[in-house]
Structure 1
Amino acid sequence: MNMMNRNVTYSTVGDYQLPNLTLNQPQKPLGRYGRMRRMYLMENRPVLYNSMLLTGKLHPHLLEVEQAAENQKQQMMTELLKQNPAPDKAKNQLMWVQHMNSLKAQVEEVILMELIYN
């Protein structure tokens, strides 16, 4: 087996010498859907989660899920508003808020089932 020569530093922890290792991950923070997907993978698919984490594929996957969820959310809200127009916000603000929250809940349920818990 051909090993590359690397300069690895070590830290002493108790009686052990542990290598100082870091994963190079982009520092772009995850949004709500990316964090939800990460929790789902950690709790329900630990082998896949650890594999993706160790190969550096986890963070890009989570960012991709985040972007897909946001895009789907915008598209579905637009479609639902075309099919079910909201009441006039100026005349009846409470009905408008209730209507928009109802549409948002429908969209959220689809996103969770199709992208997060899939």
Structure 2
Amino acid sequence: MDKLEPRIHDEANGLDYVLDGDYYIPAVELPEDDDRSIGKWGRMHRAYLEETNPLLLNHLILTGKLHTYLADLNEQAQNRHRLIIRQMAAAEGVTEDLKRRSQWEWIKAMNSIVNRAEESIKRELIYA
């Protein structure tokens, strides 16, 4: 009997195989680690994809791009969220001066702004 090669390459599908006992097993490696956090927005979008577009979710998982995709979306959503809060606070006159004069009014105004900004981000990026 011929000796089996420890590693072979299949031109038809482009995969490498490693000999393990009597069987060749595909030599599949995980993609490079992305140290960025997926965060709140990325988790919300993943849940949305699971419900509405499982084909896209499976494609991203199988190509190893899901983590990068969700981390990019999370960063974009965080930046947009901060920008909207800053702009709304300036437009509505919610300033540090208001915070010094009336903390409760400032808290109510900021909570309202944050809630509206989150709804805007969900509509624009997460559930789109």
Specify the TM-score bucket, using the shorter chain as the normaliser.
0.7 to 0.9
TM superposition shift of 1:42: 1.2
* Shift in CA distance, 42/86, structure 1 to aligned 2, threshold 3 Å: same
TM superposition shift of 1:8: 6.6
Q: Is the 2:18–2:27 Cα contact (8 Å) retained in structure 1?
A: no
Number of the residue aligned with 1:77? 85
Q: What CA deviation, in whole Å up to 9, does each residue of 1:54-93 have, x standing for no partner? A: 0112111101110110111111111111210116112211
Separation in 2, partners of 1:70, 1:77: 11
Size of the aligned set, in residue pairs, is 111
TM superposition shift of 1:30: 1.4
Separation in 1, partners of 2:28, 2:13: 20
CA RMSD of aligned residues (A): 2.4
* Shift in CA distance, 22/35, structure 1 to aligned 2, threshold 3 Å: farther
Secondary structure of 1:90's aligned partner:
helix
Separation in 1, partners of 2:27, 2:63: 17
1:41 counterpart letter in structure 2: L
* Uncovered stretches (5+) of structure 2, i.e. residues with no partner: 1-11
**Quick one: which of 30, 42, 47 aligns to 1:34?**
42
Number of the residue aligned with 1:15? none
* Shift in CA distance, 80/8, structure 1 to aligned 2, threshold 3 Å: farther
Q: Is the 1:9–1:20 Cα contact (8 Å) retained in structure 2?
A: no
Q: Is the 2:42–2:70 Cα contact (8 Å) retained in structure 1?
A: yes
TM-score (norm. length: structure 1): 0.80
Larger Rg: 2
2:70 counterpart letter in structure 1: L
Q: Is the 1:8–1:20 Cα contact (8 Å) retained in structure 2?
A: no
**Quick one: which of 64, 73, 82 aligns to 1:65?**
73
TM superposition shift of 1:20: 8.9
2:71 counterpart letter in structure 1: L
Structure 1 segments (4+ residues) deviating >6 Å: none
TM-score (norm. length: structure 2): 0.74
